[in-house]
Amino acid sequence: MQFSEAPLLLGLLAAAAAIGFLLGWLIRERPTKVERRRPRLAASTAYLRDAYNRRLSAHSRSKCAFDAIYFCCVELVETQGRSVQAMCHPTRDVTQIGLSAINATEEQLRTADLLAQWVVIASPQLPSVSIDTACKLASWVREQTMTALS
């Protein structure tokens, strides 16, 4: 390589880096309008994505599914004019009130309650709820919450 070719090579490298940055920016999931107004929903989306990530441990995925549910429930509770500031988190009240606001079934309430109990006791064991069930519930809760708050 001659010295006169160095600027050309640097220009090509800079262009490749710029293209890579722009492609990454385009394919990254951007927050919705609701998520921009309510950062907890954006956090819920990130937790949900991690709950489905099979490269993470089953324990981490279960915790992420619960967190995705819980952040949605906190938003739903606050839209009902209730303050969550003074509560000790996580609390069953938040999941029960939040899920009731989106008309969750008894089975969904029970599943969320089992996950909440597991999180509160910080068990090293897996919860009695399967990861698949927890992820499906978290997806449903997020979808219903986004609809309710849009």
For residues 14 and 36, state if they share a domain. Answer: no
For residues 131 and 95, state if they share a domain. Answer: yes
Residues 3-51: pLDDT tens digits?
Answer: 566 666 666 667 777 676 665 655 556 666 766 677 888 889 999 999 9
pLDDT at residue 56, as a whole number: 95
- Number of folded domains that form the chain: 2
For residues 24 and 57, state if they share a domain. Answer: no
Cα angle for residues 132, 136, 140 (degrees, 5° grid)? 170
For residues 48 and 21, state if they share a domain. Answer: no
Q: Which CATH number fits the domain that encloses residue 87?
A: 1.20.120.330
Structure tokens at 137: 């519930």
Type of residue found at 55: R
What global pTM score does this model have? 0.76
* Burial status of residue 67 (CB atoms within 10 A of its CB: 0-12, 13-18, 19 or more): buried
Parent domain of 73: 32-149
The whole-angstrom separation of Cα 52 and Cα 124 is 20
